[in-house]
């Protein structure tokens, strides 16, 4: 049984009305680029095969009823009362589909809202950092876009999902999750400029290279609406305000020595993570275009070190997952998602996946941690209509997903004088969003040197220094994550 099957069965138990259709949207894994989205930076997520489905039937009144296979709690609300129910809050999981209805009605005043029965089923693990919430939003937004004749494209529906998550649910997330879920392409990641919403698919080629992405779900649940996430975002806004810029996107590595002088230690480290993570995203895209997926391992590991030490969003279970995967032969590994729990990902040769899985299970058991859920993910297609008619027109999400080499959506790679990181990309091709044809790539098994979170110098006794010493960076053959600097566990 798939999520589509489960959603159809649930809808049949809810109403005798014939289904108008079933729509689905995937979860996502973020290859690299964590917490850069709400800082208007760069991200590189990919949609996964695990999906959330919404089966929908039309009603003759203005009532919206939402039910799910993963909660015994459902909500009924009339369109006339929707604004008040959203404002009152306390909707739990139903805040996501009802928030989408509320946001789409506001964003598409020319739509024709009507009552609906919505049955939701999901294969995306909740709380694992794989964006189960964006999958709900994408499936429901796609359904309502068709049934209410809203006529919005996938980027506009991603914005609707973000509004629902930010304003209806109260989670201060960026737009990465929704864009990845809506725009996913098989065997590719979505390279996204979160300021302009310019995108292009970037070929990953994992299967061709004999690689797989292993997800290690620690089962430590996180919540984006909790205090830790909000505190990190507030620190980023504080850092941007100190430089009088719109967002940390506008800072480059050469601004970090000045940041060390004018910011307190905690705010500086938060800023350093964002600035260097943006660079790592650009470096990863360049490596994939030029050399293929075996060239990105050290960048993934350096990203984890930065999130662990500078942004302080890892937890012991995530650190153990990363360390064990690396010692089991992973080319690179990192936590993925908002942090404070969730999942880690590891890039492994396919033949090493069974042994790495057993090693992680043994390490967790020895540490007294809960048994993790471990599985592989495949870069997959974005939101779509699975069952029912196929409406035509620019607003339908039922058409084919974008192919590799699709034109960029939105503007260029930056404003306010442009983003000063990734200049090697700009000099080579004019834009990091220019596609590099696969035939021009140089295939190489050698990964570039890791660029850790402290590639940027920090002023201190004896002058600038790196907080990740070269000898502690992952070795080419037996990889290990650099040791943690002593620091209190994030709250």
Question: What is the spatial distance between Cα 431 and Cα 333, in angstroms, rounded to a whole number?
Answer: 28
42-58/188-193 β-pairing? antiparallel
* Rounded CA Rg of the chain: 22
What residue ranges in 194-302 does DSSP mark as E strands?
199-203, 211-217
Which long-range contacts (C-beta less than 8 Å, at least 24 apart) are formed by 359-366?
359/324, 359/325, 359/327, 359/328, 360/216, 360/320, 360/321, 360/324, 360/325, 360/328, 363/320, 363/324, 364/317, 364/320, 364/321
Residue labelled with tokens 């739509």: 111
- Say if CB 204 and CB 224 are below 8 A apart: no
Alpha helices in 82-194 (DSSP H): 82-88, 95-107, 132-147, 154-163, 176-183
Question: What is the spatial distance between Cα 488 and Cα 491, in angstroms, rounded to a whole number?
Answer: 9
Instruction: Provide the 8-state DSSP code for 209.
Output: T
State both tokens at 371.
Answer: 């048994």
| Residue among 177, 250, 310, 386 flagged as catalytic | 177
- Say if CB 375 and CB 215 are below 8 A apart: yes
Length of the chain: 491
State both tokens at 120.
Answer: 């939701």
Tell which residue, 428, 472, 383, 405, has the closest CA to residue 25: 383
- Check if 153 is active-site: no
Question: What is the spatial distance between Cα 405 and Cα 427, in angstroms, rounded to a whole number?
Answer: 20
* Catalytic residue ranges: 177
């Amino acid at each position: 049984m798939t999520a589509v099957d489960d959603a159809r069965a649930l809808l049949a138990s809810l109403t005798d009305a014939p289904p108008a259709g079933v729509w689905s949207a995937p979860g996502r894994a973020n290859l690299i680029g964590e917490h850069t989205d709400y800082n208007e930076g760069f991200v590189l997520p990919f949609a996964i095969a695990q999906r959330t489905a919404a089966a929908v039937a039309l009603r003759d009144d203005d009532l919206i009823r939402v039910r799910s296979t993963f909660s015994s709690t459902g909500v009924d609300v009339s369109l006339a009362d929707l604004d008040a129910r959203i404002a009152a809050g306390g909707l739990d999981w139903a805040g996501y589909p009802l928030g989408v209805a509320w946001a789409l009605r506001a964003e598409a005043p020319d739509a024709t809202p009507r009552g609906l029965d919505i049955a939701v089923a999901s294969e995306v693990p909740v709380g694992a950092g794989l964006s189960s919430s964006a999958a709900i939003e994408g499936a429901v937004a796609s359904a309502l876009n068709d049934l209410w004749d809203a006529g919005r494209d996938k980027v506009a529906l991603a914005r609707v999902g973000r509004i629902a998550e930010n304003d209806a649910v109260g989670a201060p997330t960026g737009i990465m999750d929704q864009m990845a879920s809506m725009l996913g392409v098989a065997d590719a990641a979505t390279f996204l400029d979160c300021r302009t919403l310019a995108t292009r698919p970037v070929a990953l080629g994992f299967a061709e290279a004999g690689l797989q992405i292993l997800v290690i779900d620690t089962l430590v649940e996180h919540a984006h609406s909790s205090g830790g996430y909000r505190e990190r975002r507030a620190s980023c806004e504080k850092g941007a305000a100190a430089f009088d810029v719109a967002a940390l996107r506008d800072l480059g590595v050469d601004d970090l020595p000045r940041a060390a002088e004018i910011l307190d230690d905690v705010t500086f480290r938060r800023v350093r993570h964002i600035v260097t993570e943006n660079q790592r995203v650009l470096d990863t895209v360049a490596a994939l275009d030029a050399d293929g997926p075996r060239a990105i391992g050290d960048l993934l590991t350096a990203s984890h070190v930065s999130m662990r030490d500078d942004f302080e969003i890892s937890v012991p279970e995530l650190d153990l997952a990363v360390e064990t995967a690396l010692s089991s032969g992973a080319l690179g590994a990192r936590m993925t998602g908002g942090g404070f729990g969730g999942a880690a990902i590891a890039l492994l040769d396919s033949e090493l996946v069974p042994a790495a899985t057993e090693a992680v299970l043994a390490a967790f058991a020895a540490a007294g941690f809960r048994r993790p859920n471990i599985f592989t993910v495949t870069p997959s297609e974005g939101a779509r209509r699975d069952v029912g008619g196929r409406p035509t027109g620019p607003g339908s999400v039922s058409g084919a997903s974008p192919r590799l080499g699709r034109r960029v959506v939105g503007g260029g790679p930056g404003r306010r004088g442009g983003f000063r990181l990734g200049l090697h990309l700009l000099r080579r091709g004019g834009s990091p969003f220019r596609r590099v044809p696969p035939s021009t790539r140089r295939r190489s098994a050698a990964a570039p040197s890791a660029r850790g979170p402290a590639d940027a110098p920090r002023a201190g006794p004896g002058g600038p220094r790196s907080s990740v010493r070269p000898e502690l960076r992952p070795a080419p053959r037996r990889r290990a994550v650099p040791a943690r600097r002593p620091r209190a566990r994030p709250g």
